[in-house]
Structure 1
Amino acid sequence: MNKLEHAAGTTSGGPGGAEKVVVTEKEAGRVAFASFVGTALEWYDYYLFGTAAAIVFNRLYFTSLNPTAATLAAFATFGVGFVARPIGAVIFGWLGDRIGRRPALLITVVLIGVATGLIGLLPGYAGIGIAAPLLLVLLRLLQGIAVGGEWGGAVTLAVEHAPPAKRGRYAALPQVGSPVGTLLSSGAFSLVLLLPKDSFDSWGWRLPFLAAFPLLLIAVYIRRKVEESPLFEELLKQDERAKIPAVDVFRTAWRRLLVAITSALLGVGGFYILTTFVISYGADTLGLSRSLMVNATLVAAVFQIAVILFMGRVAERIGPGRVTLWGGAATALLAFPLFWLIDTESPLLVVFAVTLGIAVLSVAYAVSGALLTELFPAHLRYSGVALAYNLAGALTGFLPFVATALLDVSGGASWPVALLLAALSLLTALGGLLGERMRVKDNVASAPAAS
């Protein structure tokens, strides 16, 4: 057993004779906030693409296709980012587990910010022809590679600075970056959708993407002030780093990897069904306004923040695996009722359904950081967490594409999509059940409170 895998004992030394890493709550809070800022920018950038794929890219970058084919092509481009994410997990997992968590996170946040800003400068199909969708795919790939290393590193750094008994709440803070990113991206699109259609199509939709540049400067400023993980510094002292962490994850921790992937499916794939797909479904199939569908995600994001913070505390009491089990089971039960409510075409019920669906699936998402980081030992953690989360993303990133295809095959009926959401939820519940039994603890202690 690796020295840093022992359960917490005394601060003077662990069972294996290694010094116990001591962390303070002040430092933990500062790191968690920096992780939150980075993930908020990450998801702002990422969700912008999802929203634009539903209401912009299908019309401006795939104009030579019929409407259904154009939407499918836009969603396929959206899914390409998920395929690239495991590549980023390998690259930045190696950097994070060999060189340090901090430098890896600085690079990822710069890469995704630049890629997103450049999308705002990219001419459409009418301007440069086939080069437009090709460059769009390239920038989406760069986004995916960056995100592949960002989230795993952010939660790893937050958890490794946190006091052991309070890891749930600190691991939840980077998760809050998701709804905040949704609020920022959906809010930005809601504003530009107020423009006349010609102005929106020509330049208005670009403004939210261009905003990534100033947001990037803020994120880099905050990230630069974060100290390296104390557990990683202990790994350096003991020279217990893996030479090729991703290979070691597949070789020695593949069971943990499978469980981690399963537990993360709903938080990634389910979210995109209820946002990216539902926006397209409501606007294109049901004939509801695009503004209504985007605003529904705004309302949902506010409730999502509260759910994430609350469930982080609950995870400290009963364990993140049990919380994941409950969240997956509840979402499976609600999958069909959610789409029945959306199909009423009542604006109030549509907003309620989207809000309820995202709130319930966020029960499992809230504790993904806590569960995944405790499924892998410290010397494989960055790579293990990044690979698990982003392989889950690669497996589910095309779900808006799949859901749209199912909708076309079923003649516009939503029940196949509801069934897809229910199946995904049950898989996540299984991952939570198994994951709770496989958690590992680090040799970490809280610093004594100042007298």
Structure 2
Amino acid sequence: MWGLFPTHRELFRGIPMSSSVTGADAASAPSLSSATAVPRRRVIMASLVGTTIEFYDFYVYATAAVAVFPALFFTGQDETAKLLASMATFAAAFVARPIGSVIFGHYGDRIGRKATLIGALLTMGVATFLIGLLPTYYSIGLWAPLILTILRFCQGLGLGGEWSGAALLATEYAEEGKRARAAMWPQLGAPFGFILANGFFLVLTLVMGFVSVAEQGADHPFLTWGWRIPFLASVVMVVLGLWVRFRLEETPVFRQALEQGQKVKTPLTEVFRTSWLQIVQGTFIMLATYVLFYLMTAWILSYGIGKPENGGLGIPYREFLVLQLLAVLLFAAMVPVSGRLADKYGRRSSQLVITAAILGFGLLFGTLMDPAAVGTGEDVSLVRVLVFLAVGMTLMGLTFGSMSAILPELFPTNVRYTGSGVAYNASSILGAAITPYVAVYLNAEHGVGAVGLYLAFGAVLTLVALWFSPETKDVDMTSVGTRR
């Protein structure tokens, strides 16, 4: 499998570190290959470590939103209603993400990628740490879910600025013709963060002997203080991420744009004036990816561990976490495969095939995962559940891996941070914010087959967007102005 990963030298050969052009010579800025090469490992670490930390923070919340928060931050006897309320706070971050992309995109296109990425990391890190200190409903009443929602919103702001900046680091340093393979490094932050977050929860539940709220009640040590540890521990990872990013150089593509006087005063206004169509295309190109991912992570956890009388499978929490962690390894393995396919066959062609496969997968939800077919409680077929998760995560890696090349390539340099961020995070509202909530409702009212139809509908919209979008494999990343 390691042969699928491109080498540092292969990806970043001949990339500049700095330019000596100043003052009156700015108009005749040298080509990108004229400067000294930046340390390749530093670029990889800065893009990979940051997204890993950000996604870790995000997934820690996603896991707690299903297994912990309904019992501690929401009241009532209806378990489905409490889960829906928890999913609503989960969705708050997706509302914040486009706002974060606008705020951080403005500074990313105005002052540079490096400083903006540091700010995004701090925003997410502080919010996550504070969630670990938050009193529950039983201590401060309605203030608890209110503050939880605000902190979740701040998490969304941070991630809204993180992804596009990390993607730009990878693509703006990469050698032409190998951008998708270089761009896969920040994409690996998603499965790595998922493994760290859920692995942490798995270890905690094993050490503390926690199985579920239904079996052990809300006064179990895991629910009184153990769940806080993954949130508080994130501060260590944030310090590591800041150390890496403070040592980072600005990207050569952005430096050249500055030297040529191409910086714009209001990137948001400029991107909607010159590249509104690309924003629409990018939003719907990402849609199926988002729907698939949050079905296979947030919703499937609630479905897997949910009580059979409420439409779930009744799998013990720890057992289901193990299944998810095994499946997400395929997600990580497919990310570099996706980059190579996109560089070899083109972004559009490869994504059309992968999205068609996602459509087919959605149509099979009822056949593969209906409780009558897979079983419930002690009779559930864990092998069948694992196969379902493995197929979903394989498709997720294949569709997600090249997105950090596709979206930045749609936009010119002077609005690339804002444009790619807005498209990526606008899609998060349509494809991710409401997905776990809608899926819980659809499963409760119409069964798991309806959840699959929801995924299939998202895939159809993405196929239409891809069909009418250009191939961006050979786009010049140094171009400034309207993308043609």
Q: TM-score, normalised by structure 1?
A: 0.91
Measured in 2, the distance between the counterparts of 1:338 and 1:394 equals 23
Measured in 2, the distance between the counterparts of 1:321 and 1:328 equals 10
Structure 1 gap segments, 5+ residues each: 1-10, 445-451
Measured in 1, the distance between the counterparts of 2:287 and 2:41 equals 28
How far did 1:223 drift?
A: 1.1
Structure-2 residue corresponding to 1:287: 314
The 5-angstrom pairing of residues 358-377 of structure 1 reads: 358-377=393-412
For residue 265 of structure 2, give the secondary structure of its aligned residue in structure 1.
coil
- Counterpart amino acid of residue 301 in structure 1: V
The 5-angstrom pairing of residues 165-176 of structure 1 reads: 165-176=177-188
2:109 to 97, 100, 112: 97
For residue 165 of structure 1, give the secondary structure of its aligned residue in structure 2.
coil
How far did 1:25 drift?
A: 7.2
Name the stretch that deviates more: 102-111 or 289-298.
289-298
Measured in 2, the distance between the counterparts of 1:342 and 1:208 equals 31
Measured in 1, the distance between the counterparts of 2:41 and 2:423 equals 25
How many residues are matched? 428
> Cα RMSD (Å) of the superposition?
1.9
Measured in 1, the distance between the counterparts of 2:477 and 2:361 equals 37
1:46 to 40, 58, 61: 58
Structure-1 residue corresponding to 2:392: 357
1:311 to 315, 338, 343: 338
How far did 1:65 drift?
A: 5.6
For residue 273 of structure 2, give the secondary structure of its aligned residue in structure 1.
helix
Matched, 1:148 2:180: no
How far did 1:100 drift?
A: 0.6
Measured in 1, the distance between the counterparts of 2:185 and 2:36 equals 17
Structure-2 residue corresponding to 1:322: 349
Q: Does the Cα contact within 8 Å between 1:159 and 1:170 map onto a contact in 2?
A: yes
Structure-1 residue corresponding to 2:248: 226
- Counterpart amino acid of residue 430 in structure 1: V
Measured in 1, the distance between the counterparts of 2:89 and 2:382 equals 29
Deviations for 1:255-291, whole angstroms, at most 9, x for unmatched residues?
1111101111122222001110010011111211112
Q: Does the Cα contact within 8 Å between 2:105 and 2:161 map onto a contact in 1?
A: yes
Q: Does the Cα contact within 8 Å between 1:111 and 1:142 map onto a contact in 2?
A: yes
Name the stretch that deviates more: 425-434 or 109-118.
425-434
Matched, 1:427 2:461: yes
Structure-2 residue corresponding to 1:269: 291
Structure-1 residue corresponding to 2:421: 386
1:158 to 170, 186, 198: 170
How far did 1:339 drift?
A: 4.8
Measured in 1, the distance between the counterparts of 2:363 and 2:381 equals 17
Measured in 1, the distance between the counterparts of 2:29 and 2:117 equals 28
How far did 1:356 drift?
A: 1.2
Structure-2 residue corresponding to 1:3: none
Measured in 2, the distance between the counterparts of 1:24 and 1:274 equals 44
Q: Relative contact order (C-alpha < 8 Å, sep 6+): which is higher?
A: 1
Measured in 1, the distance between the counterparts of 2:391 and 2:53 equals 25
Name the stretch that deviates more: 59-68 or 170-179.
59-68
Structure 2 gap segments, 5+ residues each: 1-15, 17-26, 211-219, 307-311, 375-379, 480-484
Q: 1:435 to 1:172 in 2, by over 3 A?
A: farther
Deviations for 1:132-177, whole angstroms, at most 9, x for unmatched residues?
1011001001000011100010001111011112111110110000
The 5-angstrom pairing of residues 62-77 of structure 1 reads: 62-64=74-76, 66-77=78-89
Measured in 2, the distance between the counterparts of 1:153 and 1:99 equals 12
